[in-house]
A and B are shown apart, each in its own frame.
Chain A
């Protein structure tokens, strides 16, 4: 059976047979996977997709795995939630949340990319896999490698949130803390991948890994009834996700599953690490690296590998990028939880706060259909909310004490004697 995908250089166009390689030997530029859309025409239809599994693997024929690949982890197919209460607060009439805070198995969108990367790690025969990570990727690699029986080396910045470290170690992964920021860790992984015969999901397996992000775009379109939104708001760390959602939409248009539409792409970053939004605002694809300083550590990549592509994607689409302060991030985490019942991590706070600003600044009009991508779960970054709430004092288990408590809280006797009290 012919494999319906190959590697292709983003800059010079040279093609390569499938191999664990991420850099073109001719021009040292990034490689990406090119799927044969013609080969997928008969299998990638609304009917066949609807009959597929309730996971991202319903889109298997546009993912870089062999036709007979049997997935072992049901990542993806997360809820697309209408968000009227958040929308009302920020002036949005048709706002949706793509909720990857509940992506399985490790509660972030990284489960999608790791599923594809590790499938290819097995195909290439690696017995050890690894990654450089700001946390979510570490969790996803550790969990899925455990399920596949692969050995793992996972490198993270030493100051990573304790929950993300624990959520990696529990799977038996070898976690190596590096005295540096993500960019230091990532560079070291590039060197390790050249020295050791290991599959690093975001280094030598990166072209395959990145394709997994397309499933966010496929799902948004399918969950909207096979149509594209007007706008998408996407958090940006390395900048890959936003470009892959656009790639997904284009593939759907090409295959005729959705009507063509110029979707506008909006990027979200924390001000403490905003190399891509800075470039977008300056109208350039040239990314000036930054030294990250933000609580949004999952977005703290100062030298984003896909930054030039992300900036181009946003500008070409007529979108925009914004960045928000740490204080705004925390407020937005609370606002999303209070209005829509979705508890996201700091990166989701970034997306929510930027979405609110885009409406406030009229970059997005109230009646447009907008999807904000929430990519991770708040349980992983509870330290961001440290001190946000007073510790409640305990009361005795007596009704009179409870009534006194409620009265004290509300300062309103009517509430105690009101309709809710029988």
Chain B
């Protein structure tokens, strides 16, 4: 069994340019572990200080958000196509746009 995984451009700086991999993973946690072992340089960028996969990274299986399919519980099927896409947001709120700090010191 294998699934095809398409990686975003943003990852390529840390994957020696790889855009697509074949994976034997059975579920999302296994897939993330496999991506990290294949591309060790990616790991510190993929996870936050608490070791959690960053919240802006989304996973899709055959066009469907994996969160609608059971997220980590979803069992990959042979031939699944997994898309990894970071959220594109332009928001702002938590920090001062002047001093750039969450705990604003200037206004």
Contacts and interface: CB of A to CB of B under 8 A. Distances in A.
Interface stretch (A142-150, A240-248, A406-414): A240-248
A250 B98 contact: yes
Contacts of B17: none
B10 A34 contact: no
Contact of A23 (B55, B88, B94): B88
Nearest to A28: B86
Contact of B93 (A254, A286, A312): A312
Contact of A37 (B10, B91, B97): B97
Interface residues of A, number: 58
B89 A305 contact: yes
Given A13-B100, A37-B97, A289-B65, A309 B92 contact: yes
Contacts of B45: 25-28
Nearest to B64: A184
A30 B60 CA distance: 19
Contacts of B57: 28
Contacts of B60: 187
Interface string B58-100: 1010010101100000000000000101111111111011101
Contacts, number: 137
A27 B94 contact: no
Contact of B86 (A23, A184, A246, A288): A23
Contacts of A254: 96-98, 106-107
A202 B94 contact: no
A313 B94 CA distance: 7
A59 to B, nearest CB: 14
Contacts of A29: 54, 56, 86
Nearest to B55: A308
A106 interface: no
Q: Main secondary structure on chain B at its contact with chain A?
A: loop
Nearest to A207: B90
A296 interface: no
Given A13-B100, A25-B10, A246-B93, A303 B56 contact: no
Contacts of B10: 23-25, 28
B93 to A, nearest CB: 4
B86 A203 contact: no
A64 to B, nearest CB: 11
Nearest to B53: A28
B96 A30 contact: no
B91 A30 contact: yes
B15 to A, nearest CB: 12
A209 B90 contact: yes
Q: Which of B13, B45, B57, B88 has the most CB of A within 10 A?
A: B88
Given A247-B92, A306-B89, A184 B63 contact: yes
A194 interface: yes
A235 interface: no
B8 interface: yes
Contacts of A238: 89
Nearest to B8: A194
A35 interface: yes
Interface in A215-260: 238-240, 243-244, 246-247, 250-251, 253-254, 260
Contact of A10 (B65, B91, B96): B91
Given A27-B54, A30-B56, A251-B98, 9 more contacts: A8-B100, A13-B100, A28-B54, A187-B63, A240-B89, A247-B92, A289-B65, A309-B93, A316-B94
Interface of B: 8-11, 13, 45-46, 48, 54-58, 60, 63, 65, 67-68, 83, 85-94, 96-98, 100, 106-107
30 contacts: A25-B10, A27-B48, A27-B54, A28-B11, A28-B45, A28-B57, A29-B56, A32-B92, A35-B97, A186-B88, A187-B60, A187-B83, A190-B8, A190-B85, A194-B8, A203-B88, A239-B91, A243-B91, A243-B92, A244-B90, A244-B92, A250-B97, A250-B107, A254-B98, A254-B106, A254-B107, A289-B65, A303-B65, A308-B89, A309-B92
Those 3 A-B pairs whose CB atoms lie nearest each other, nearest first: A210-B90, A309-B91, A306-B91
Interface of A: 8, 10-11, 13, 22-32, 34-35, 37, 180, 183-184, 186-187, 190-191, 194, 202-203, 206-207, 209-211, 238-240, 243-244, 246-247, 250-251, 253-254, 260, 286, 288-289, 291, 303, 305-306, 308-310, 312-313, 316
